[in-house]
Structure formats: structure tokens, C-alpha cells
Chains A and B, each alone.
Chain A
Amino acid sequence: MTQVAQGGEGAAAGFASAATRRKPRLRKRLNVQSVLGTTPMIATAVGVFIICIIFSIIWSFTNSKLFPNFNFIGWAQYQRLWSTDRWIISVQNVAVFGVLSIVGGMVFGYLLAVFMDQRIKQEDLFRSIFLYPFAMSLVVTGLVWQWMFDPNLGIQSAVRQMGWTSFEFAPLVKQETALYGVVLGGLWNGVGVTMAIMLAGLRGVDSEIWKAAKVDGIPTWKTYLFVVLPMMRGAIATAFILQCTGVVRVFDIVIAMTQGGPGVSTQMPAIYVIQHITDRVNVGQGMAAATMMLLPVMVLIGLQYLVRWNANRRAGRA
């Protein structure tokens, strides 16, 4: 790899002198360069993503156990999947978890960013504090939150020891509330990043806008909400997509906080997939679940293409 890179640099230096003389030829040879440079990436993308995805889908129609095989059994894995309580609960959970943690993350992230934007002293310190949880593994975060929520060790017992003996706060022990406990842990971990992105977005807004808003007598909160917020579409989209990927692959925080319990009430699709292809030695079932997880992503990508294609067509007409 290094040799190729060095050769590339040397050749590129050669072009620089040639560039002034023969432009068309330069463009052609640069293409070869870029193809050469991106080949490993293309190979990885095709190999890891496309081929693996295709095999996952193929194996989801087989009765593969430990070793993947090609004994096709039709839709049986999918039928079993969608008649399994645990999978259906997992899908509902990831939806609830997704909506709550994305909405919560965006709202709190933006509020924190606005707070940081008030030219406070020690901004660096606060920024580090808010961003710090993200630097920690979700397993560590999850474990700490599990302890805090533990009725015998955590917040509940601390408050009770202070004298309020009927105080109850142990969301993880009841199946009705456990998922919200996990959302809280996840929010704490992820909100700092959203804040950082939003803050960058806020700082990117032209100060002239603020002056104009002041002149027009628009209250500060209205300016933040109706003027500045729509102007930072890029930052919002970035934060949103980052959070979405976090939701689809949510795994470690649940394992650390509840192991999917009590019962199966905080199970997630990713846990189902991983457990089936490892300890439960049912690769076919795991692949069927993995394929179902891919589906919403494919739909989103499809929608995006549709929108873009539609926009292009309109642009073409105009």
C-alpha cells in the first residue's frame, strides 16, 4: 500500500509540471490515479457491504445452523420470526427507543447548544463535560446507569436513606418502565455530540442575521426558534443521521443495563440477530432478522433517491 501511495505522489508531482502544457491528457491520467487510490475502498465496500448483504439475504431463506448451508426452506424463517413475541417486542422497542431518543437528543442537544451560545464563562469546560460521556463506552455508561437505577444501590436507596422512605425510582426493575430507563441512559451518552454539532451550526449563522433580528425587535427565543434553527439545516441533518444509526444498532447499552429484561421487555432487534447467529446457533433465523433490519434502511435510501430523481426531473423541465 505504501509503495503504491508513494508512486502515486511521485507521479502526481510529474503531472503538476505537465499540467500547464497539456490539460486534456492530465484529466485522463488523473482518473487512473483516483481509481487506483480508491480501489481498496471500492473493494472493501463491495466485498463487505454488497456481497455480505447478498449472502445474508440468501442464508435467511435456508435452514443454516452453525455452518451456513444452501438448503432452501422458503419463507419459514420469516414466518417464525414474525410469530415470535420477542421479535415483535424488539421491533416495537426500537421504534419507541428511536423516537424518544432522537426527539430527546435533538431537543436537549439544541437547548444545550443555545445555553453554550450565551457567551458563558468556562465554555470550554462545560463543552468538555457535556461531550465527555460520548467518549465512554456504552457498556461503561450502561453499567453506571444500571447501578444508579438499582433499587438496592442507587438513587432510590439513597433518597430512602435520607428519610423519604416511600420514594420509588427504579425504572429498570419493572417491564413497563425499563425501556424509558434505557432511553435516559442513552440520552445522557449521546446528547453531548448533538450539542457540539448544533453549536457549530449556531456559530455558523451570520452575525448580521442577529443584528437584523435585533433591529426588527424580534425576541431572542423567537430568533433562535424561527430564524436561526431553519438556517442550520445541515447541522440538524448531520445530528439526525448520526442518531439514527445509533438507534438501529442499539445493542451494548441494553446488554449493560438490562440484558433485554425484565422478561423480554427491553429486547432489541440487534440483540436478537447476534444471539441467534452465535449462542443459539441458528444462522438462518439470525439472517432473517438481519434482513428485516436492513429493510427500513433500504426504504429510506429508496425514498431519498425518489426525492432526488423527482427534483432532477423538475429541474430538467424548468
Chain B
Amino acid sequence: MKSVVSVVAVVAAALLGSTAVRAADVEVIHWWTSGGEQAAVSVFAREFDALGDDKWVDTAIAGGENARSATLQRILGGDPPGAAQFNPGRQYEELIAGGMLLDLTDLATTENWAGIVRPASISEACLVDGHWWCVPVNIHSWNWAWASIPAFEKAGVALPNSFDEFLASAPKLKEAGIIPFAIGGESWQINGAFGVVQTSLLGIEKREKILKDKDIELAKAEMPAVFAKWREFSQYTDEGSANRNWNDTTNLVVTDQAALQIMGDWARGEFGVAGEKPGVDYACLALPADHPTVTTGGDIFLFPKQSDPAVEAAQLKMASMMINPQVQALFNNAKGSMPVRDDVDMSLADDCMKRGLEIIGSEANIAIDAGRWLSNDTTGQFNDLSAQFWADASMTVDDAVAKYVEILQNAD
């Protein structure tokens, strides 16, 4: 008898369920494929699946460029994914203008996103003309260098406090059989590290004048020193750097084969996965060394418009889940990034993340990510230039500056 009742109840529930909102599959395109990134994205997937019958369908595409291309092509082709990862900035401006994204404003107002997301420059990436078009999920800063403490000890040199100190100790590191400067030959890695050197030499204000206001005269005056410094770094890398992934490069520091890598704080996840301890096995050096700042890079998820209301309901659920304080804590701890809201329990955070949170606490320490001002096209041209200058020792600093200015002048 009991079982009959329960069967009836189950059937009734199923029928009721189907008349209300059906469970939906939400396909999510992202480019989180390294060990630390996988650990982070599975937090999202697990939490979303736990919310109800909706399913997270994972489409991981290696490489940001490839993943973004796939999303754009699928939206244009009329087969949009349920959610997709982008970097905050101008990468998706035409999707907003073209009305291809789900408007999250109602949800955001109910949950007061504008009040909880800090700093304000993070929400600006999603809040366009009073409407929320995406969910910021984390803050990533490029302004970090990762050093292997055993590698520096082996060479008998102290951890550097500035680029010049590092460059001075690099020959000793090399003698000790250590790769002084680890970098992968992909153009975004080269240009990213170049950007950190640029911020360090110019400071936030001048950098903003050049990249945001396109101050040509300032660029002509200041960029030669940046390119010259960058050339100094290029002699201290290893020959295996061509075409190397960022995480394989980080692994050189994790395994103490290389001394230093300039890379965003997503690298911290790799140290975490390898079981390394900050301050013992590796050091995170906040840059610029004399006045550390954080860039407002990171990741956002946008939700392309769908015809199926069940999927749309699930999309809104997913958006709400991603910004939930508890999920933010779990996700960002695994990812190595900082949460986008302050009211998150970060007791699990390690020393490096605490340092980052300390820096981001003050508005004066925030360097807006260059992607906010530059289109993908312009960023791509800068990537090409940095990579070309890095690999081609015959390209003079003057040539490089001339190209830099030309790209800046033509930037849209």
C-alpha cells in the first residue's frame, strides 16, 4: 500500500514538475582546462547540479581565443550555448549591442549586485547603460610574479625586490643551472608580462593616459624605456619557451627548474594543486614592487538569449549561483582569484590571496585591465608586436615604439 502511494506521489510530482518548469540542460563554454582551473570550474558545476534538476553541460575548449571564437560563431550561427566565459571588457560589446544576450537586470536588482560587487570597476564590465548583461565571477590580476624559493636558495641569491635586482641576479641563477625567467612563447603570455613591466615603469596614471586616452606623445616618450627593459628579460629565458603553455611554464617554477615567472594570479591554482606552500616552496611577489596594484582582469559569464523558457529559467539560476557568497569562496579559493564581493568567508584563503585582498581594499591600488579600453583587435595587434619584439633580437626599440604608436593611433 505504502509503495503504491509513493509511486502515485512520484508520478504526480513528475507530472506537476513537467507542467511547471522542466529541467533544462545548460551548456557552458569555458577555457578552464589546467589542473587548478578544472578544480575551480567543477565547483560551479557541482553547485549548479545541486540546485535542482537542471544540468551543467560542460564544454571546455582549450585556449581563450578558441573558446571565445567558438561562442561567437555559435551565437552568430543561431545555436548559442547556455552560458559562456569571456574576459571583462570589450570582447562582447557587439553581442550586447546586437541584443543577443539575456538581460540579467531584474535578478541583479533583486540581489543588489550593484551594492555588493566591489570595486566598482568590476561591475562596470557587466553593467552597461543601466542593464546587467553578465555575471562577474572573479578578479584576476596580472600584477604578480611567482618565484621558486628553493631555486633562489640554490643559486645563493636573495629573492628580488625589484626588476633590476632580479636582472642583476639572473646571471647567477643561470650559472646554477636554473632558468632565470620562465615564460611561454604564446603571444598573450608575452604581452601580458610586458604589460606588467609597463605598469611598473610608468605607474598607473601614465599607463592609463596611454592605453585609455591614447596619448601618443606620452607613448613616444615613455615606451622606449619599457621596450628596452623588456629586451633585457628576453636573454634570460630558456630555449624551450617557444609555444609553451602558461601552466607548463608555471610548472617549471613549481618544480624549481625556473626561478621566476610573471603571470596573473591564476598561476596560484597550479601551486595549490601541486601541494606547494606559499612562503616555503614559492613566493608571490606583488607588482610593481614599490607600490603593488591589482589589475581588474578576471572572468565573466554571459548568457546568450534562448528560445526555450526552461533554459532561460536555468540560466538565471546559474547566474545567481555564480555570485552566491559561499560559491564565490569555494570557487575563488580553487581558482586562485579574488571574489567579486567583500562579504565572503575567506578564512580558507592562503597568504598570497590575503595579500591580494589587502591590496584591492584601496581604490588607489586598482589598475583597470587594458581589455576595458582596447578592442580584441587592438589587443591582438599588441600581442603580435610584443611577441615579435621578444623573439626577434634584430628588431630595434625604436622600430617597436613606432609600431606601438601606430597601433595606438589606429585603435578603435
Contacts and interface: CB of A to CB of B under 8 A. Distances in A.
A79 to B, nearest CB: 10
27 contacts: A65-B94, A65-B375, A66-B72, A67-B76, A146-B243, A150-B240, A170-B239, A173-B240, A174-B239, A175-B391, A178-B242, A258-B242, A261-B391, A262-B242, A262-B391, A263-B185, A263-B390, A263-B391, A264-B187, A265-B392, A276-B377, A278-B69, A278-B72, A279-B69, A279-B380, A280-B376, A280-B380
Interface in B373-412: 375-377, 380-381, 384, 387-392, 403, 406, 410
Given A66-B72, A263-B388, A281-B72, A152 B240 contact: yes
A285 interface: yes
Contacts of B69: 278-279
Interface string A196-208: 0000000000000
Contacts of A279: 65-66, 68-69, 72, 376, 380
Interface in A39-68: 65-67
Contacts of B391: 175, 261-265
Contacts of A257: 243
A152 B255 CA distance: 15
Interface in B168-192: 185-187
Contacts of B65: 275, 278-279
A66 B241 CA distance: 33
B403 A85 contact: yes
Given A263-B392, A278-B69, A66 B377 contact: no
Interface centre among A172, A257, A278 (most CB of B within 10 A): A278
B98 interface: yes
Contacts of B406: 83
Contacts of A92: none
A317 to B, nearest CB: 55
A257 B185 CA distance: 12
B95 interface: yes
Nearest to B65: A279
A266 to B, nearest CB: 10
A265 B187 CA distance: 12
A67 B94 contact: yes
Contacts of B243: 146, 172, 257-259, 261-262
B112 interface: no
Contact of B240 (A151, A261, A265, A278): A151
Given A86-B384, A279-B376, A261 B185 contact: yes
A262 B377 CA distance: 20
B87 to A, nearest CB: 11
Nearest to B66: A279
A86 B95 contact: no
B73 interface: yes
B377 A280 contact: yes
Interface of A: 65-67, 80, 83-86, 146, 150-152, 170, 172-175, 178, 257-265, 275-276, 278-282, 285
B37 to A, nearest CB: 19
A264 B387 contact: yes
A205 to B, nearest CB: 45
A172 to B, nearest CB: 6
Interface residues of B, number: 34
Given A66-B95, A175-B391, A279-B69, 11 more contacts: A66-B94, A80-B410, A83-B406, A151-B239, A170-B239, A261-B391, A262-B243, A262-B390, A275-B65, A276-B377, A280-B377
A282 B76 contact: no
A259 B384 CA distance: 12
Nearest to B410: A80
A264 B388 contact: yes
Interface centre among B68, B98, B186, B384 (most CB of A within 10 A): B384
A86 to B, nearest CB: 5
Contact of B384 (A146, A175, A264, A282): A264
B381 to A, nearest CB: 8
Interface centre among B65, B72, B239, B241 (most CB of A within 10 A): B239
Nearest to B187: A261
A101 to B, nearest CB: 20
A277 to B, nearest CB: 9
Contact of A285 (B186, B241, B377, B387): B377
Contacts of A265: 391-392
Contacts of A85: 384, 388, 403
B185 A262 contact: yes
A281 B390 contact: no
Closest 10 CB pairs of A and B: A263-B391, A278-B69, A262-B391, A66-B94, A279-B65, A263-B388, A282-B377, A280-B380, A262-B242, A173-B242
A66 B77 CA distance: 12
A83 B186 CA distance: 23
A263 to B, nearest CB: 3
B186 A259 contact: yes
A281 B377 contact: yes
Contacts of A259: 185-186, 243
A83 B410 CA distance: 12
A281 B381 CA distance: 12
Nearest to A86: B384
Contacts of A263: 185, 387-392
A174 B240 CA distance: 10
Contacts of B380: 275-276, 279-280
B20 to A, nearest CB: 37
A217 B65 CA distance: 64
A180 B186 CA distance: 20
Nearest to A282: B377
Nearest to A274: B69
B90 to A, nearest CB: 9
Nearest to B386: A263
B375 A281 contact: yes
Contacts of B384: 85-86, 264
